[in-house]
Structure 1
Amino acid sequence: MSEAKGHEEETTWRYSFKEKKKSCCLIINIDETEKKIDGTRVVKKIRTGAGREVEKLKNTFTSERYDTHVMEMEEKKKDVYDHVTDYIENVTKDNDDEGKKLAGNLKTSDVFICFLLAFGGPGFFYDRKGNKISLSAIIMQFKSCPDLLEKPKLFIIQTCDLNLRPVGKHLFRDEDQDISEPHCWPQDADILIYESNISGEYDWNPGLRKNKQGKRTSFPSLQCSTFIKTFCKAFKASEDNTEFGDVIMRTNLMLQKFVENRHFWDLQDETWSSAPKLPIVTDQLCKKLCFPSYN
C-alpha cells in the first residue's frame, strides 16, 4: 500500500490532528448558586473546590496544544447562554484583537473540549441565580456552529448535588433525585458527553472530618473534586495515539474503587444523603478519536 493511499484510508476512520495547530478548550466555571429554603429564604451554595478544578484542568490542557479559556459567571446581567454566545462569536471570526485571540479559533481547531463545573444533576445544572439550565441547550449551541462541523465535540461535565447533606448512617439511602425534566441528550454526530455526578462535596465539604487510614484527619475545604482529579490523571498518563475511550475507561476504573470503598468518602461520624455513582458516557463520535501523546 502506498503512503498516500494509507494516509487517505486512515483519515476515513479517525479524526486527524494537524501539526502545530491548537485545539480549543473551554472551562465553564459556575462556582456558586442560590437555593430557596421554605419557599422564601435564599441561601448561597458555594463550590469551594472549583478554583482547584480550574487549576488542574489548565495544567492538563496546556497552552502548547490547547487554547484554554475559563468562563467565569461574574456578570449577573448576563446568563450562561449569553456568555456561551459571546465565546462562540469570539472564536469563529478572524480579528486582530489580542484579547479575543486568547480564546482560540474554532475554524483551525482539530477538536473542541468543553468542561462544565457547577451544581446540578443528570442532564441539568444551576446558574448563579439558581435557575435550572438544560445541558442539551448549551451543547446545541456548539452543535450548530459551522466551524465545528464534522469535528469531535467533547463535553466533560462535573455537577455537584445541591441537596447533598451529611446524615446519620441509620438514615442512609441510595436513590436517584427526582427530575422534573426528561433527561434527553442530543443524538447528533461527532458529540461525546462524559457526565459525572460524583459531588465535589465528598472531597471539600467545609468543616467536616473524614477517615484516612484509620486516623482522624481534618481535610482542607479547597480541594479538586475526585472526578476532575482522576480524569486529568488518566488523560496525562495517556500514550501516543491513545483512544479517548480508553482514557474514559481508565478514569472509571479508578473511580470505581472510590465509589465501592466508603473509606474514601464516609464522614467521621456520619455518611451522605446520596452515594456517588460512576460517570455516564454518551458517545456519538463517528470516528476513532486518538489524541497526540501528552508527553
Structure 2
Amino acid sequence: MSLSVKISKERFTSQNYKTTPKTNGNLCKPVIIDIRKTFFGWFSHERQSASRDIELLVETFQQLGFPDYHLVSDQNSRLETDPLYSIENLKDELQSIASDEGITTDSELFLCVVLAFGDSGYFYLPNDPISDCQPRDGKPPRFYTSDLLSHFKADVCPSLILKPKIFLIQTCDPNLKQKDKSLFGDISEPTPQLHRTPTEADLLIYHCLVSGGYTDKMKKETKESLKNIIDHVGDENGNSACQFVYTLYKEVKALIDRAEEFEWTDLILNINNSLMEFIDDETGHYKSDEWNKPWNIEPRIPVCVDQLTKKLVLKTR
C-alpha cells in the first residue's frame, strides 16, 4: 500500500535535516517517558536522580529551542487506565503520540527520552502493587526498544518520513549496589540481554547504562574533587542528576556557547568523552562513599546506533 505523504522538494533534496524553527508549529516537541519507581514483587527501586533529571532535560530543550514537551510519568501508574500501567496501555499511548500533529506533523524533528530502570534493549514498567496486600507481579514487565521504535516508523507514522527520529534512553540497573572489598571473589555477571537494532533509516538510538546511583552515593569530598566531571549541584532536596542527563545538558550548553549551530555527531562524541573521563576516574569509581566500597557493576560507555541518512545540524540562534 502506497503512502500519500507530501514531502517538500527542499526537504527531499537537502543534504542536512531541516532544523530551522518554523513560524507555525514546533521545530520539536520532545516526548519524555519518566519512570521513577519500579516494584520487584513487594520491593521497589526508585531513581533518586529523577527530579533533577527532568529539570536539566527541560533546560536542555529550552536551549535547543524546544519550548514545549510531552511528559508520560508514573505519578498515577497504579490506575488501570494510566499509560504506564501495562504494556498494552503504553502501546496505546505511543500510538496516540504518533498521531499527535504537534509532535509529528508540525515538527521537523522527533525526540523521545526514556528515563527508567532496565538494561540494553528494554526498560521496566512501574509494576505497582494491586493493593497494600497484594503485589502484581514478581518481575515487572519489560518494554522493548523495538516496540518503542515500531510506533514511529514510516509505515505507521508517515508524518515522520524523512524526519530524524532520535531516541535517548537512560536505563539504570536495579541490581547496582556497593559491596565490601572482602567480596572480591564474587565475579558473577548480569545475564547478557539481546541487543535489538532497528532496520529502518532515519533512526538514531543513544542508550546509556551509567546509573544515577554512581553519583547519588558519592561522599561530599569526592563530589567536590570531581566537580568538573560530575553534577555537584543538585535540586532543592539535594538530589543530583544521573551522569548521562547532566552530561547531555553540559555538552549542549558548551556547543551552543561556541557556535550558532552544531551536529549531533559532535554532541555524542563530547558526551562519550566526558563519560569516559568519569568512568576512568579511580577516585570517583572506587571510593564513592565513606566505606570505600566498590561497585558490583561496571559503568559502560553509551551505545549509539546511527542510521540517519543525512547530517543532523541544529541551529542554536
TM range (shorter): 0.7 to 0.9
| 1:16-59: CA deviation from partner (whole Å, max 9, x where unpaired) | 124334112011000010124xxxxx201111211110111011
User: CA 1:9/1:107 → structure 2, altered by over 3 Å: closer, same or farther?
Assistant: closer
Aligned equivalent of 2:123: 125
Q: Give the paired residue count.
A: 269
Segments of 4+ moved more than 4 angstroms: 7-11, 172-176
Aligned equivalent of 1:98: none
- What code does the residue aligned with 1:237 have? A
- Aligned-partner Cα distance in 2 for 1:85–1:92: 11
Alignment of 1:102-121 (within 5 A): 104-121=102-119
> Which residue among 153, 166, 177 is the counterpart of 2:190?
177
1:71 corresponds to 2:81: no
User: CA 1:138/1:8 → structure 2, altered by over 3 Å: closer, same or farther?
Assistant: closer
- Aligned-partner Cα distance in 1 for 2:199–2:170: 21
- What code does the residue aligned with 2:296 have? S
> Which residue among 256, 262, 287 is the counterpart of 2:276?
256
Contact 1:27 1:68 in 2 (8 A): yes
- Aligned-partner Cα distance in 2 for 1:111–1:9: 12
Gaps of 5+ in 1: 1-6, 37-41, 95-103
Contact 1:210 1:268 in 2 (8 A): no
What is the SS of the residue equivalent to 1:89? Answer: helix
- What code does the residue aligned with 1:75 have? S
What is the SS of the residue equivalent to 1:271? Answer: coil
Contact 1:174 1:275 in 2 (8 A): no
User: CA 1:292/1:68 → structure 2, altered by over 3 Å: closer, same or farther?
Assistant: same
| 1:128-181: CA deviation from partner (whole Å, max 9, x where unpaired) | 0121221111121122322111210100011101111110234357775213x5
Aligned equivalent of 2:177: 165
Larger strand proportion of the pair: 1
Aligned equivalent of 2:165: 153
> Which residue among 18, 29, 49 is the counterpart of 1:16?
18
Aligned equivalent of 2:152: 142
- Aligned-partner Cα distance in 1 for 2:15–2:115: 32
Residue 65 of structure 1 deviates from its aligned partner by: 2.9
- Aligned-partner Cα distance in 1 for 2:187–2:279: 12
- Aligned-partner Cα distance in 2 for 1:281–1:264: 25
- Aligned-partner Cα distance in 1 for 2:278–2:111: 26
Contact 1:48 1:222 in 2 (8 A): yes
What is the SS of the residue equivalent to 2:151? Answer: helix
User: CA 1:200/1:221 → structure 2, altered by over 3 Å: closer, same or farther?
Assistant: farther
Alignment of 1:1-295 (within 5 A): 11-20=13-22, 21-22=25-26, 23-36=28-41, 42-62=42-62, 64-73=65-74, 74-76=76-78, 77=80, 78-79=85-86, 81-83=88-90, 85-86=92-93, 88-89=95-96, 92-93=99-100, 104-129=102-127, 130-143=140-153, 144-172=156-184, 177-179=190-192, 181-205=193-217, 209=219, 211-212=221-222, 222-238=239-255, 239-265=259-285, 266-269=288-291, 270-293=293-316, 295=317
Residue 183 of structure 1 deviates from its aligned partner by: 1.5
User: CA 1:174/1:203 → structure 2, altered by over 3 Å: closer, same or farther?
Assistant: farther
- Aligned-partner Cα distance in 1 for 2:254–2:145: 29
- Aligned-partner Cα distance in 2 for 1:9–1:68: 24
Contact 1:49 1:222 in 2 (8 A): yes
- Aligned-partner Cα distance in 1 for 2:31–2:214: 25
- Aligned-partner Cα distance in 1 for 2:122–2:220: 29
Q: TM-score, normalized by length of structure 1?
A: 0.81
Residue 262 of structure 1 deviates from its aligned partner by: 2.6
What is the SS of the residue equivalent to 1:185? Answer: coil
- Aligned-partner Cα distance in 1 for 2:300–2:112: 22
- Aligned-partner Cα distance in 1 for 2:149–2:89: 14
- Aligned-partner Cα distance in 1 for 2:211–2:30: 23
User: CA 1:272/1:146 → structure 2, altered by over 3 Å: closer, same or farther?
Assistant: same
| 1:83-120: CA deviation from partner (whole Å, max 9, x where unpaired) | 453354256356xxxxxxxxx33101010111100001
State the Cα RMSD in Å.
Answer: 2.8
**Identical amino acids, percent of aligned pairs:** 29
- What code does the residue aligned with 1:56 have? L
